[in-house]
Structure 1
Amino acid sequence: MPLVRIDAPPTHDDATLTALGDAVHQAMTETIDVPADDFFQIITRHEAGQVRYDPGYLGITRDDGIVFISLTLRVGRLNSQKKALYARIGELAKESAGIEPRNVFVNLTENSESDWSFGEGVAQYLN
């Protein structure tokens, strides 16, 4: 059910971004109870100058290895689950994709069951 969007500068190659996508999915299955077959991702590598960021906001040193990970999911996870998710994404991004946790920016957007259709013009969660 989560929709994952990963946006990255041109410094990351296809293999790195694929590994990152797999790492994000693994983190979701381990920390916020996402089923293994619930896999929907959009990965976009942008041209130079199209990914902008503050290199020191909140005292975190970022560089062109940055990635933006946006998750849209149903409301209901506890803050402790979200904190575990962020930590696990950072760990797996480093292990699997070689992306430093300092360069992993994660954003969650929550919505309700009525905000999803997985195809065929049907609100599957409302049936």
Structure 2
Amino acid sequence: MPFAEIYLRDGTTPEYRKAISAGIHQSMIEVFQIPEDDFFHVIHSLPAENMLHAPVFWGIGRSDESVIIRMTFNVRPAEQKKALFTTIADRLVENPGLRRDDILMTILETAAENWWSTARTIDPETGFDTRMSPEAVRAGTIN
């Protein structure tokens, strides 16, 4: 049950915000092989004075269009997280046209037992939702 929070400055259109959310969700479907309906996003549209960041970070210029994406999900292997970062960035550059330099992503990992949603069933052996394919579960399980 991945959960995404998207932080950006006020003034964007609903279509722009939807494109960011869709890019994140499609990337999670592709990389994590989550079910299509496993979709929980919150978009925080903030006044400029509440969206603060260094104009140059690690030698890379950041614009006022910067977006911060915080994702929470069960523990995943480093390779899978790297693939998720790359896939999301590629999608957001394509649509809605973000600059790669304006995308900052972070992950909060949590144990499967820290999630709850009515009617959700967890496989006790894998800790993942029983609707996930065996391939997706193997890819998300740390050995």
How far did 1:43 drift?
0.8
Letter in 2 for 1:23: G
Task: Give the unaligned 5+ runs of structure 2.
Answer: 125-143
How do residues 1-127 of structure 1 correspond to structure 2 at under 5 angstroms?
A: 1-75=1-75, 77-119=76-118, 124-125=121-122
Identity of aligned residues (%): 28
Residues paired across the two proteins, number: 124
Larger Rg computed on CA atoms: 2
CA distance in 1, matches of 2:11, 2:54: 17
How far did 1:98 drift?
1.2
* TM-score, normalised via structure 1 length: 0.89
The 8 Å contact of residues 16 and 98 in structure 1, kept in 2 or not, is answered as: no
Letter in 1 for 2:36: A
Q: Secondary structure of the residue that 1:71 maps to in structure 2?
A: strand
Task: Give the unaligned 5+ runs of structure 1.
Answer: none
Question: Deviation above 3 Å: which 4+ runs of structure 1?
Answer: 122-127
Output one character per residue of 1:33-86: Cα deviation in whole Å (capped at 9) or x when no partner: 2221100010111112110111211122211110111100011x2211111111
CA distance in 2, matches of 1:28, 1:83: 12
The 8 Å contact of residues 55 and 61 in structure 1, kept in 2 or not, is answered as: yes
CA distance in 2, matches of 1:43, 1:5: 6
CA distance in 1, matches of 2:123, 2:84: 27
Q: Secondary structure of the residue that 2:109 maps to in structure 1?
A: strand
Quote the RMSD (CA, aligned, Å): 1.8
* TM-score, normalised via structure 2 length: 0.79
